[in-house]
Structure 1
Amino acid sequence: MALLLLLTGCGGSDGISGHAEAAPEQVEADVETFLPPAPPSGLHIPSLGVSTDMFVGLELTSDNTMEVPEGAEAVGWYVESPTPGEHGPSVLAAHVDWQGQKGVFFDLRNLEVGADVIIDRADGTSILFQIDEVEQYPKDSFPTERVYGDTEGPELRLITCGGDFDRSQASYRDNVVAYATMVDVEG
């Protein structure tokens, strides 16, 4: 089953709204194609000048909203999604901005198809993903199944806010989602 989550409030500390019906089932993976679980420990997007090892785990809160990272510099990995390199879409979220500071994903909307995204994992491996596409969606039309649904192989989703800032809601109106596919593993 797909996770039913929507991002909100990337300008402040609001949660990510929606409900998680159930985590996607893990598929028995071919060891040559998929990696065993290991949480992310580093993120590098050379074309955007992003390099960070500030990762936090994101869970659901009591009202079924997903936590968001605190601060402009942290990247959150949704712990109910596969770890990078496992079968399915690993979901990372970071702020476009935070209390007047540029967030880790400030330039995510400018990421180009074919750009490299490197994820370091706690087990010492590094995975090279390449961007397939970057899309912007109104929050009320967020493509939950496409973002969180099962995939044929290891993929990555980078999510932040975008579009116009709604001052009355203290939130951006849209979400930016970068879709990437695993192309290589080192270590």
Structure 2
Amino acid sequence: MLLGACTPGGGTGKAIGGPAQAEEPSRVAIPSLGVDSPLMRLGRNGDETVQVPPPEKGMTAGWYRGSAKPGTRGAAVIIGHNATRDGKAVFHDLHKIKEGDVIDVERGDGKVLHFTVTGTEKAAKSAFPTRKVYGETQEKALRLVTCAGDLDADGHPVENLIVYAKLA
């Protein structure tokens, strides 16, 4: 079961670190929003949900290593927090991104790939578009995922914001 970012209980697993290999992403930048973040590697939690960066790393996004490597066919998925208990996080302003904006992903070998935003979508966590975000695609795609929407009774956002982009 693959779910979106900020899934209740989804952020408790330990993120996988270490330096990025040549074709793995090491940094994400969104010039139009002033975002520039190193990337940690993320896996899955014991309940098969996708890990999110730990709350104390709110200004650091993470690449889900079960997704495509950026620049290869398929969807590379980068997850980041909108906010933490300490305040704004790396993807706090992601709701301001527009179609046509550029997202730069630097790989471990120093090559920078430029992706162009093709659209955004808000989805209820209960209806997260798993196949659309994580599923196979013929294009070289990028997905950014963060929390969005109102808070539930436990204080967790009820939606995810997904940004769709393709290699320019």
TM-score computed with the length of structure 1 as normaliser: 0.79
1:59 counterpart (23, 43, 66): 43
After superposition, the C-alpha distances for 1:45-80 in whole angstroms (9 at most, x for unaligned) are 011010122x21111122212211022111111111
Give the whole-Å Cα distance in 1 for the aligned partners of 2:51 and 2:148.
18
Match of 1:109 in 2: 95
Contact kept? 1:8, 1:14, Cα under 8 Å = no
Aligned-residue offset at 1:170: 2.3
Contact kept? 2:5, 2:79, Cα under 8 Å = no
1:45 counterpart (30, 48, 72): 30
Aligned-residue offset at 1:9: 3.1
Give the whole-Å Cα distance in 1 for the aligned partners of 2:82 and 2:76.
19
Give the whole-Å Cα distance in 2 for the aligned partners of 1:124 and 1:130.
19
1:125 counterpart (111, 117, 134): 111
- Quick check: 1:100 aligned with 2:97? no
Q: How many residues align?
A: 158
Match of 1:24 in 2: none
Write out the 4+ residue segments of structure 1 that deviate beyond 3 Å after TM superposition: none
Q: Which amino acid aligns with 1:116?
A: V
2:60 counterpart (74, 91, 100): 74
Match of 2:14 in 1: none
Contact kept? 1:14, 1:68, Cα under 8 Å = no
Q: Which amino acid aligns with 2:82?
A: V
Give the whole-Å Cα distance in 1 for the aligned partners of 2:65 and 2:92.
23
Give the whole-Å Cα distance in 1 for the aligned partners of 2:160 and 2:167.
23
Structure showing greater radius of gyration is 1
Match of 1:21 in 2: none
* Alpha-carbon distance change, 143 to 72 in structure 1, aligned in 2, over 3 angstroms: same
- Quick check: 1:179 aligned with 2:134? no
Give the whole-Å Cα distance in 2 for the aligned partners of 1:65 and 1:150.
18
After superposition, the C-alpha distances for 1:71-95 in whole angstroms (9 at most, x for unaligned) are 2111111111111111100000000
Aligned-residue offset at 1:8: 5.1
Contact kept? 2:5, 2:145, Cα under 8 Å = no
Q: Which amino acid aligns with 2:9?
A: D
2:130 counterpart (125, 129, 144): 144
Identity of aligned residues (%): 35
Structure 1 residues 158-173: aligned runs within 5 Å: 158-166=144-152, 168-173=153-158
Q: CA RMSD in A?
A: 2.0
Match of 1:83 in 2: 69
Contact kept? 2:6, 2:146, Cα under 8 Å = no
2:2 counterpart (5, 12, 26): 5
After superposition, the C-alpha distances for 1:123-143 in whole angstroms (9 at most, x for unaligned) are 121100000001101111111
Give the whole-Å Cα distance in 2 for the aligned partners of 1:154 and 1:138.
26
